Structure 1
Amino acid sequence: MSVFSSLRSSLVSLHSSLLPAQEEPGLWRPTRRTHLLHLGVAVFLLVFAYLFTGLPHEPVPVGLTVLSCIALPVFSAMPVVGMLLGVAATWAASSVEQDTGIVATLAVWSVISVLIARGCPRWIVYCFAYLVAVPVVWVAARQGQWVNGFIWIVLVGIPCVVLGELLRRQRDRANENVRDRRQALVRQRRLIASELHDTVARDLAYAVMTAEQLKLAHPEDDDLVRGLDAVIEPVRMAVGQLRRSLQNITATDNDDAVLLSSVTSPRPITSVLADARRVLEARGVSLEVEGTELFQSEGVLTPGMQQQVLRVVNELIDNATKYTSADGRVRITVETNGHALECMVTNPVDVNPSKDVALSSGIGLEGARRRVETLGGELVTNQGGGRWAVTFTVPVRGAWQNA
């Protein structure tokens, strides 16, 4: 029941972690409502300039004012065209001899505000602001009123820039929250995948191996053989599907630090060795163990390192149990030299490996390697002469304190 309870709780957590996230962060794309809002602002500026300012009601001033106001909705749909139209209208309004009013030369600051708010590169935005500010100051200086040019920039230009920066800061903060949430979901999926592999997938694999050994031990009992066949095949398929799903979950994630986290404690080394010895003995394989008491010595490993090292050792023992050839010998040796703890697991393997790959995914060994490397150690595998050997070393407690 513990296997299915663990699977159920893990699937619930996995389901919650796969819920749709917020919108992808990046360059903000305006909606139709945004386009209509920009059009409304342009109409408001045009009406304001025509009715409430000293704009001469002549074709040239009115035309340049309309052109300046149109730049905003055009920019909303086509940023480059709108930006160039705004620059052209501002320079034209500043170059003609007639009075064109304040809107014709200052409406373009609304475009600058939107540019900043949308997250465009600042160097482009402020170069654009410089291009539209120069003609205003130049015309005012030519008329002997250069101070008025600066005053209008301070009263209109700077508030538009500040408004754009505030909107940009708010959007950047929202995007940062989205990225943080996505990273948290990635870590949660990695952790769930690690827990499923270390608990449910391992226990189901042991169940399959135990059932197969029982079937070989009692071939004369037809009822037992049929019952075991009815159990073994569905469980093997379930383990294969589970492991493939775990591979897909961890395929694009490379956050090694999450491997140091765990929601459950690893199985005691004595329990793992007892299960492995029972399965191996049924296959005629002997298990030799030396120095495993070092895993539980507080003078060698810190409590946190003990948990991670035990997870690595459990994975190596499970692999040796699954792949050891019949009538072989599995040997586990653990020793320390005062600076590092070294563990070696060796086992014979068949020259022609089993075609049953449902009980293996490669996630466990790769996860063990990442755990060891995260702890500052090294894991090395070697295969040759019909034997498979895995050796890993991690710094001991004194080495960490002296570092």
Structure 2
Amino acid sequence: MSVFSSLRSSLASLHSFLLATQEEPGLWRPTRRTHLLHLGVAVFLFVFAYFFTELPREPVAVGLTVLACVALPVFSVMPVAGLLLGIVATWAASSVEHDTGIVATLAVWSVISVLIARGCPRWLVYCFAYLVAVPVVWAAARQGQWVNGFIWIVLVGIPCVVLGELLRRQRDRARENARDRRRALVRQRRLVASELHDTVARDLTYAVMTAEQLKFAHPEDDGLVRGLDAVIEPVRTAVGQLRRSLQDMATVDNDDAVLLSSVTSPRPITSVLADARRVLEARGASLEVEGTELFESEGVLTPGTQHLLLRVINELIDNATKYTSVDGRVRIAVEINGNALECMVTNPVDVNSSKDVVLSSGIGLEGARRRVETLGGELVTNQGGGRWAVTFTVPVRGAWQNA
């Protein structure tokens, strides 16, 4: 009873594996050409057994040989049924008193070879191989020629296993190469999305805001207003399309390693602050900064940490510049507290105005959060009482202590 229980559980495992291979797109699946190839091999085995071996021309011997050969094409289409058919044919050919020839008991090794090549778990495959090898050796020993049983396994079984392993290795390598290419493509797309968001989308957003502020500052100049309207609308449309495309590109995968790679260097903090002051002053708002020189201090941050944090603070300043209410004040405070760098960016927001979905995609803030988390820190946002606050903390190690 335990043998049949083990066989049943093994077949269940095989069935689950085969279902998984059908559902996972990266795994190899047999095609019609493969099925025809298996059918051709089965026909070749039967012709070889019938015409070139001493197969008795008896119904039992011929029938079991046909059954053993048919197991291969059946396995190609219905793996569990084909494997069971091959095992039954092998055991039956080894158990009957008649001489059934060698193919009836050895054809099932072709099924074992295909199982290995398809990537079935090895422990399962070799359990079936054991079930196939035992009756062959047992039948040979019953005739007093048990050595012949081992010889046939060495001559037929082992080459089939080696062939299956070679095919399996080749397919595993092909699947691994395909996965590497997909991962590289995903990282490349995310890197492009990050770079475009931090450069082109940001610059176009600043251009739209500057043009709108200039328009509101000179409403009496009809020519200027018409010219700015002709520029603002196409640029706003282009920014909206670009940000939607970047959202699609950025949500393909969640590979944080992309955040550690950047094609272009981040803008200097002084340049970002100068642009922010210019835009805010045109709106009647102001900018107050404290400690931002720490972001460019060689004694505080390593080059890699400095690179990522400059991108984070640039994104936070850009967001504050876009959403600060008229006559408001943006405040940026940075300090070293123990072994951590702490930064807070706050700005008042107009609670009655809605967020400009064209000039905002949410990619920047999410990218800033993940960059901070990549460095082992934490970024927290808080909105209430007409103010928006973003704080983040990043651990820094020892270089600043020696300064």
The residue type equivalent to 1:25 in the other structure is: G
Q: Which residue of 1 aligns with 2:118?
A: 118
The residue type equivalent to 1:103 in the other structure is: V
CA separation in 1, counterparts of 2:209 and 2:146?
90
- 5 Å matches for 1:360-379? 360-379=360-379
Could you say what secondary structure the match of 2:169 adopts?
A: helix
CA separation in 2, counterparts of 1:47 and 1:399?
80
Q: Which residue of 2 aligns with 1:256?
A: 256
Could you say what secondary structure the match of 2:357 adopts?
A: coil
- 5 Å matches for 1:177-196? 177-196=177-196
- 5 Å matches for 1:187-226? 187-226=187-226
Which deviates further from its counterpart, 93-102 or 278-287? 93-102
Check whether the contact 1:211–1:228 (CA below 8 A) recurs between aligned residues: yes
Check whether the contact 1:351–1:386 (CA below 8 A) recurs between aligned residues: yes
Taking structure 1 as reference, are residues 72 and 295 closer, same or farther at Cα in structure 2, changes over 3 Å only?
same
Q: Which residue of 1 aligns with 2:269?
A: 269
Q: Which residue of 2 aligns with 1:337?
A: 337
CA separation in 2, counterparts of 1:303 and 1:122?
48
CA separation in 2, counterparts of 1:31 and 1:361?
44
Q: Deviations over 1:37-85 (max 9, x none)?
A: 1122112111211222111122221221122111111211221221111
Check whether the contact 1:338–1:398 (CA below 8 A) recurs between aligned residues: no
Q: Which residue of 1 aligns with 2:18?
A: none
CA separation in 2, counterparts of 1:398 and 1:241?
45
Q: Deviations over 1:236-277 (max 9, x none)?
A: 122112112211222241111210110000011111111110
Q: Which residue of 1 aligns with 2:346?
A: 346
CA separation in 1, counterparts of 2:79 and 2:341?
62
Q: CA deviation at 1:312?
A: 0.5
Q: Which residue of 2 aligns with 1:229?
A: 229
Q: Which residue of 2 aligns with 1:25?
A: 26
Structure 1, unaligned runs of 5 or more: 1-22
Check whether the contact 1:24–1:178 (CA below 8 A) recurs between aligned residues: no
CA separation in 2, counterparts of 1:327 and 1:220?
22
Which deviates further from its counterpart, 292-301 or 311-320? 292-301
Q: CA deviation at 1:400?
A: 9.9
CA separation in 2, counterparts of 1:362 and 1:324?
17
CA separation in 1, counterparts of 2:397 and 2:80?
62
Check whether the contact 2:300–2:400 (CA below 8 A) recurs between aligned residues: no
CA separation in 1, counterparts of 2:356 and 2:108?
70
CA separation in 1, counterparts of 2:400 and 2:300?
10
Q: Which residue of 1 aligns with 2:328?
A: 328
Q: Deviations over 1:101-137 (max 9, x none)?
A: 1111001101110111011222332222122212111
Q: Which residue of 1 aligns with 2:244?
A: 244
Q: Which residue of 2 aligns with 1:154?
A: 154
CA separation in 2, counterparts of 1:361 and 1:390?
17
CA separation in 1, counterparts of 2:58 and 2:287?
101
Check whether the contact 1:340–1:399 (CA below 8 A) recurs between aligned residues: no
Q: Which residue of 1 aligns with 2:143?
A: 143
- 5 Å matches for 1:377-388? 377-388=377-388
CA separation in 2, counterparts of 1:401 and 1:282?
41
Stretches (4+) displaced over 4 A:
399-402
Q: Which residue of 2 aligns with 1:315?
A: 315
Q: Which residue of 2 aligns with 1:54?
A: 54
Could you say what secondary structure the match of 2:116 adopts?
A: helix
Could you say what secondary structure the match of 1:214 adopts?
A: helix
Q: Give TM-score scaled by structure 2 length.
A: 0.90
Structure 2, unaligned runs of 5 or more: 1-23
The residue type equivalent to 1:68 in the other structure is: A
Q: Which residue of 2 aligns with 1:19?
A: none
Q: CA deviation at 1:311?
A: 0.5
The residue type equivalent to 2:26 in the other structure is: P
Could you say what secondary structure the match of 2:284 adopts?
A: coil
Q: Which residue of 2 aligns with 1:14?
A: none
The residue type equivalent to 2:134 in the other structure is: V
Aligned residues: 379
CA separation in 1, counterparts of 2:333 and 2:113?
68
Taking structure 1 as reference, are residues 372 and 355 closer, same or farther at Cα in structure 2, changes over 3 Å only?
closer
Could you say what secondary structure the match of 2:344 adopts?
A: strand
Q: Give TM-score scaled by structure 1 length.
A: 0.90
CA separation in 2, counterparts of 1:316 and 1:56?
86
Q: Which residue of 2 aligns with 1:76?
A: 76
Greater relative contact order (Cα < 8 A, sep 6+)? 1
Taking structure 1 as reference, are residues 291 and 75 closer, same or farther at Cα in structure 2, changes over 3 Å only?
same
CA separation in 1, counterparts of 2:251 and 2:26?
22
CA separation in 1, counterparts of 2:364 and 2:62?
74
Q: CA deviation at 1:401?
A: 10
The sequence identity of aligned pairs, in percent, is: 88
Q: CA deviation at 1:353?
A: 2.8
CA separation in 2, counterparts of 1:59 and 1:392?
83
CA separation in 1, counterparts of 2:368 and 2:134?
64
Q: CA deviation at 1:355?
A: 4.6
